[in-house]
Amino acid sequence: MKNSPLQQLPKYIPRLIHILHNTPPQQHLLKLSPIALQQQGIKIPVLDFDGVLAAHGETSPHPQALTWLNQAVTVFGATHIFILSNQASPNRIAFFAKHYPNITFLTGVRKKPHPDGLETVMKITGQPPHALILIDDRLLTGGLAACIADTQFAYILAPYQSFAKRPFSETLFAGLRFLERQGIQLYAKLYQKFIHSA
């Protein structure tokens, strides 16, 4: 029986630390050029929704994110783009079905940090892990899922937010992002101390 994702977390702390330390402070979806991703060997972009394509609770992507999606469709082809959100609401699925019918909004898979969604994408496309990139704003959900599935990962440190519209949920998720970054760094420091004292 496989360990749960969080039970596997210690194994992937070094990679998560590497991601955290090597991500530009204002990393945003718009700073990830589809052409540049393709030149890096990426064939399949997989995108989270909340924070990456829109602020929390929105049912459609931000207009800027739509521009990015249109560029990505031109570069990769719509059938090679996937949406993997832990909040796959009917309204979001309906938006993509209407406006981007060839982009797959994944459903019926366990939520991140389970790697099921990414593994499903690999099965659908026949592409190896290194050809996929998950673009996500959470280390302990998307980041850990990418580590377990051994795919590429782009960490969004400057997510879309709307504190005026949803102050409670945005504050909650901003706090979660902060705590997971601090927690991972603290864990790594304690682990190093334990190793050196053993």
187 vs 61, higher pLDDT: 61
Q: Homologous superfamily of 9-197 in CATH?
A: HAD superfamily/HAD-like (3.40.50.1000)
3 state DSSP class of 8 = coil
Statement: residue 57 has pLDDT above 70: yes
Q: Where are the domains positioned within the chain?
A: 9-197
Residue of 8, 122, 116, 112 whose CA lies nearest to 52: 112
135-175 pLDDT per residue, tens: 999 999 999 999 999 999 999 999 999 999 999 999 999 99
Q: How many residues does the chain have?
A: 198
Query: Rounded to the nearest 10 degrees, what angle do helices 167-197 and 9-21 cross at?
Result: 110
Statement: residue 116 has pLDDT above 70: yes
pLDDT score at 64: 98
Statement: residue 193 has pLDDT above 80: no
pLDDT score at 189: 82
- pLDDT-derived band at 198 (thresholds 50, 70, 90) equals low
The three-point CA angle 94-81-162 to 5° equals: 60
- pLDDT-derived band at 55 (thresholds 50, 70, 90) equals very high
Q: Whole-angstrom Cα distance, residue 155 to residue 123?
A: 24
Q: Whole-angstrom Cα distance, residue 101 to residue 91?
A: 14
- The residue-averaged pLDDT of 126-134 equals 98
Q: Whole-angstrom Cα distance, residue 123 to residue 193?
A: 41
12-52 pLDDT per residue, tens: 999 999 999 999 989 999 999 999 999 999 999 999 999 99
Q: Whole-angstrom Cα distance, residue 128 to residue 126?
A: 7
